[in-house]
């Protein structure tokens, strides 16, 4: 009886070895684009307010500003205002062996004299809680014509997932609008339309907010 049991185990192992192995290939990219398609409107505690160019322009006009149009490389005329003093955005699905930068396409205005008394500090945190400050954005940046960029430390990104932490220093929120956040190992000039479409994150990040 023991011999029959042993034979049965051997036969079972042989069957397992002969079975085809199916793996789920999760495509990785060298560019991740985070914009309004990632954010849920139905969150109990909304971290961002999604707006289109028309409504954002009306908001700007009400405070005496002229909002400039959405700019390349991602142009969909949709953005969001940050409603909390701190927002954490998870980033994953990228190739782990590359060096990355993060680009912020902030709302920018025609006027140079802006009524905002606010600044942002950008941090990167890895899966283990290690955190580094990578950039500070003053309100004057909203009257410029460039994307804000910062390097992502490789020692925080190599694990395959990290968090972008946006912390606002101000008396109130909703000073900052963002069209898109782009994480890429490429130069911005190398991002064409097809790459942008394939790089849009379809998963909705679970934002962690701090009041």
Residues 203 and 144: their CA atoms lie apart, in Å, by 31
* H or E element that contains 106: strand 100-106
DSSP assigned state of 87: E
The residue-averaged pLDDT of 53-60 equals 94
Architecture of the structural domain at 29-210: Sandwich (2.60)
Task: Provide the residue ranges of all domains of the chain, joining segments of one domain with +.
Answer: 29-210
Which stretches within 74-185 are classed as H helix?
154-157
pLDDT digits (tens, 9 = 90+) for 86-99: 988 889 999 999 99
pLDDT in tens, 12-29: 544 444 444 333 334 578
Reply yes or no on whether the pLDDT at 207 is more than 80: no
Cis-peptide into 73, omega within 30 deg: yes
Share of the chain above pLDDT 90, in %: 50
Q: Give whole-number Cα distances, 116 to 74, 111, 138, in Å.
A: 26, 12, 10
pLDDT of the residue at 178? 94
Q: Which residues contact 22 (CB under 8 A, 6 or more apart)?
A: none
What number is the average pLDDT over the span 110-139? 95
pLDDT band at 68 (very low <50, low <70, confident <90, very high): very high
């Amino acid at each position: 009886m023991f011999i029959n049991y042993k034979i049965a185990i051997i036969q079972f192992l042989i069957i397992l070895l002969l079975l085809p192995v199916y793996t789920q290939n999760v495509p990785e990219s060298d560019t991740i684009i985070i914009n309004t398609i990632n954010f849920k409107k139905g969150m109990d505690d909304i971290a961002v307010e999604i707006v289109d160019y028309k409504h954002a322009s009306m908001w700007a006009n009400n405070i005496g500003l002229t909002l400039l149009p959405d700019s390349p490389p991602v142009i969909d005329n949709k953005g969001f205002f940050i409603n909390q003093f701190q927002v954490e955005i998870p980033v994953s699905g990228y190739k782990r062996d590359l060096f990355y930068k993060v680009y912020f396409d902030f709302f920018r205005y025609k006027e140079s004299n802006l009524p905002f008394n606010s600044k942002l500090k950008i941090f990167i945190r890895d899966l283990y809680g290690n955190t580094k400050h990578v950039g500070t954005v003053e309100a004057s940046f909203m009257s410029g014509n460039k994307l804000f960029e910062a390097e992502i430390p490789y020692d925080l990104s190599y694990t395959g997932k990290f968090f972008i932490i946006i912390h606002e220093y101000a008396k109130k929120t909703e000073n900052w609008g963002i069209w898109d956040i782009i994480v890429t190992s490429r130069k911005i000039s190398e991002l064409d339309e097809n790459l942008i479409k394939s790089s849009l994150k379809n998963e909705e990040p679970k934002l962690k907010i701090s009041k």
